[in-house]
Structure 1
Amino acid sequence: MTRMSLRRLAPQRRVPCEETSIELWYGPPEPDDGGYVEPPDQRRWRERRALQYCESCSVRATLEAELRRPAHHQWGVRGGMTERERRALIRARLRAQADQAVS
């Protein structure tokens, strides 16, 4: 998340995540970019920590904006959900839309 995008969502408010490192939200850079492969237990800890910031945030537009992206474009913690949680929600919404179209 960049400060620029956060300010566009809530220009009059300070948001809890604004002063955090980008790695908290998206993990370390890929090994090709000088990073490393994040162990699963470290990833879970990082995601839980990021979600703690989301719990105290009043900017819900972040989640709706992220859900407009395709499931395969979901990375990191955004809008109070992990990428896995958002992908599952997107798939559920698509199934519900398909069911309504058939009815």
Structure 2
Amino acid sequence: MTDAADYSTGAQVRRITAEFTRRRTRLFLVFATAEGLAFVAAVLAVYVLGLTDPKSGVWIFAAIAIVGGGVLSTLLLTQIRAQQQAIRDVGGTPFPSAGR
């Protein structure tokens, strides 16, 4: 781990990477919870309350999965771009070569 008083580029890049790793973990947990609740609500609406035919209810599940996938992809790409920009701002290289 790096010292908090270490302001070298490498130390700052490691701190940025650690912070964005924590943010990404939090994002996955919140997203999984929201997606799970959406699926539970769909199951209740289709199978328990019988608001729609189970054969057409499959399309509700598919829509939730497709929309959720798109939202998660967008959130991850936005966060990755923000991390790369933060690393560039401190003078680091977002994708260091393997030979270093």
Interval of TM-score (by shorter of Structure 1 and Structure 2)? under 0.3
| TM, length-normalised to structure 1 | 0.27
| TM, length-normalised to structure 2 | 0.27
Which is greater in Rg?
A: 2
Q: Which has the higher contact order (CA 8 A, sep 6+)?
A: 2
